[in-house]
């Protein structure tokens, strides 16, 4: 009996220590009480992934008033356009109220720093969205990393549903809004007039930039953006 009591006391002591440690971690972040949200309910077990990253990654959130909180375990749901963080104090996943945030950022497992900004989208669907900023400036290059739930063969998933990525790319400026584009050379060139198209082609050729995917498109974009060549919306 005595041993059992000692074991119970030891376990309770460990749990208390863990709780205190978690609270101290949040306290060090400062302004942790500003984080408002609702408890996250896991999605059904469809095939594919509804998230941008496979696991929670430490990152930073920024509120509308400019206050930032770092060292938070973050995970972005591309399916619901929701930012989820792990609250260690209550051992729960919390969806942060989108309207309270200016944006968030994190460094992924490849060492790439990624920045997301909440903006109002006035296209077909009028709504607040988290856009990843691929290149910032007077005219920015953005991507909305959407994941859709689509039907599939039941041999692939017993529910007949699967998460499928469907990303949307835009150039954006505060005065002109959004202009969609694709990650290819033709789409990039279409944003310039004929004389400037020749200039852009020459720059890409000189720097041996071959546009084949998102990464190379961003490289091409950053190459020409500092030249302040007029972009056609």
Give residue-wise pLDDT tens across range 68-122.
999 999 999 999 999 999 998 889 999 999 999 999 999 999 999 999 999 999 8
User: Which one, of 138, 120, 158, 155, lies nearest residue 44 by Cα?
Assistant: 158
Q: Is 126 helix (H, G, I), strand (E, B) or coil?
A: strand
**Residue tagged 């856009």 (tokens):** 131
Distance CA 31, CA 68 (A): 8
Quote the DSSP letter at residue 98. G
Calculate mean pLDDT across residues 205-223: 95
The pLDDT of residue 124 is 77
Residues comprising the chain, all counted: 233
Give pTM, 2 decimals.
Answer: 0.84
**Residue tagged 């591309």 (tokens):** 78
The pLDDT of residue 31 is 62
Calculate mean pLDDT across residues 30-47: 87
Q: Is 233 helix (H, G, I), strand (E, B) or coil?
A: coil
Contacts by residues 163-167 (CB-CB < 8 Å, ≥ 24 positions apart): 163/46, 163/47, 163/48, 163/49, 163/50, 163/79, 164/48, 165/78, 167/143
Q: Is the pLDDT of residue 49 over 80?
A: yes
């Amino acid at each position: 009996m005595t041993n059992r009591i000692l074991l119970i006391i030891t376990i309770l002591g460990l749990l208390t220590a863990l709780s205190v440690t978690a609270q101290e971690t949040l306290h060090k972040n400062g302004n942790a009480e500003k984080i408002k949200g609702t408890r996250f309910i896991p999605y059904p077990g469809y095939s594919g992934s509804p998230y941008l990253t496979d696991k929670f990654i430490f990152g930073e959130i920024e509120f509308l008033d400019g206050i930032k909180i770092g060292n938070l375990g973050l995970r972005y749901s591309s399916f619901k356009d929701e930012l989820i963080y792990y609250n260690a104090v209550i051992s729960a996943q919390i969806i942060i109220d989108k309207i309270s945030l200016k944006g968030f950022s994190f460094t992924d497992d490849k060492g790439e720093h990624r920045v997301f900004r909440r903006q109002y989208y006035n296209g077909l669907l009028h709504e607040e969205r988290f856009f990843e900023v691929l290149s910032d400036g007077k005219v920015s290059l953005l991507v909305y990393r959407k994941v859709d739930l689509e039907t599939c063969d039941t041999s692939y998933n017993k529910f007949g549903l699967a998460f499928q990525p469907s990303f949307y790319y835009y150039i954006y400026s505060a005065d002109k809004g959004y202009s969609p584009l694709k990650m290819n050379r033709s789409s990039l060139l279409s944003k310039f007039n004929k004389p400037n198209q020749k200039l852009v082609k020459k720059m890409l050729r000189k720097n041996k930039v071959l546009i084949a995917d998102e990464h190379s498109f961003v490289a091409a974009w950053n190459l020409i953006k500092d030249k302040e060549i007029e972009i056609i919306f």
